[in-house]
Structure 1
Amino acid sequence: MTNTIDTSLMLSNNQQNTRKTGTNILGKDDFLKILITQLQNQDPLNPMQDKDFIAQMAQFSTLEQMTNIEKSLENFLKSQEQNYMLQASMLIGKTVTFLDSNNEEKTAVVKSVSFKDGKTLFQLNNNENSSIASSQIIKIE
């Protein structure tokens, strides 16, 4: 008796490279497909041991929980960035005292706020139309 592998479980050449996630990292769906294929094609005279099956299910459960934690952390970080942007925008129209590149105190009015490369920049309404980082601000009026 010959065992055959169900070809619907195989990935096409294009899918092998991109898959649903667009990365080359295995996800929980991939892990489950592998487990199901392994169960369907196991040797009937030497089936998978219960402890092996339980260990693989535990790994699958752990992978799923880690994926859920990752999504939760991403959502949390996005909300933190939005909160920080709202807090930073409260400085628009306020006069700030800051240290310039020569470590001299200067005063200007905040014109706008932007995020660039993960940093908050405050555009100033001064003669130089410069922008400063939040770490340069020493006083808010």
Structure 2
Amino acid sequence: MADRVSTSNVWPNYSASNVQTATNKPADTSMGKDDFLKILVTQLQNQDPMQPMEDKDFIAQMAQFTSVEQLTNMADQLAALRQNLGMASTMIGKTVQWYDYSDTGEMQQQSGIVDAITIRDKVQYAQVGSQEISLDDIVSIADQGGETANG
């Protein structure tokens, strides 16, 4: 009896309320190009063989599919434009400031001169010496020894 292990202990991160919260994430209700293509294929598979879809209807649906695909591509292009390397390259040679945590866990303001801009996994980084700082973490940009422009 002394070797009995309690099975009623639950690690806090696995409580029933946490599991329910994690499973109740909102579903993605937007239709994408894959959904549109599935509908089109299902419609073609289930059409009446005695009265097949007319050519003009099929062409209209294909045009709609192409439009959906192009809108998706445009959204991707706009996201890429937001992270334009040409605009970020104007930071090269400028002094930037950002906050970083010290070894003791204190937040400290850091600064340095940007040597280069790099992109990795669709995120832009400013190369300052041997450090890479995400552009989202930069709080101020200035000419060397000049006025700062808060970001």
User: What is the alpha-carbon root mean square deviation over aligned residues?
Assistant: 3.6
Q: TM-score, normalised by structure 1?
A: 0.53
Q: In the TM superposition, what are the counterparts of 1:1-141 in structure 2 within 5 Å?
A: 42=49, 47-48=50-51, 52-53=53-54, 56-81=58-83, 84-102=84-102, 103-125=107-129, 129-141=130-142
Q: How much does 1:108 deviate?
A: 0.5
SS state at 1:67 partner? helix
The one-letter code sitting in structure 1 at the alignment partner of 2:89 is S
Between 106-115 and 129-138, report the one with greater CA deviation: 129-138
Q: Residue 22 of structure 1 aligns with which residue?
A: none
The one-letter code sitting in structure 2 at the alignment partner of 1:95 is T
In 1: Cα distance, 2:123 partner to 2:110 partner: 21
Cα deviation digits, residues 68-92 of structure 1 (max 9, x gap): 32344444444444xx211110000
Q: Residue 8 of structure 1 aligns with which residue?
A: none
SS state at 1:93 partner? coil
In 2: Cα distance, 1:137 partner to 1:72 partner: 28
Larger helix fraction of residues: 1
Cα deviation digits, residues 19-51 of structure 1 (max 9, x gap): xxxxxx7x98xx79xx6xxx9xx4xxxx306xx
SS state at 1:70 partner? helix
The one-letter code sitting in structure 1 at the alignment partner of 2:62 is F
Q: Residue 18 of structure 1 aligns with which residue?
A: none
Structure 1 residue runs without a partner (length 5+): 1-24
In 1: Cα distance, 2:79 partner to 2:58 partner: 31
Structure 2 residue runs without a partner (length 5+): 1-33, 143-151
The one-letter code sitting in structure 2 at the alignment partner of 1:64 is T
Aligned residues: 101
SS state at 1:48 partner? coil
Q: How much does 1:110 deviate?
A: 0.3
Q: TM-score, normalised by structure 2?
A: 0.50
Alignment CA distance shift 1:107-1:64 (3 Å): closer
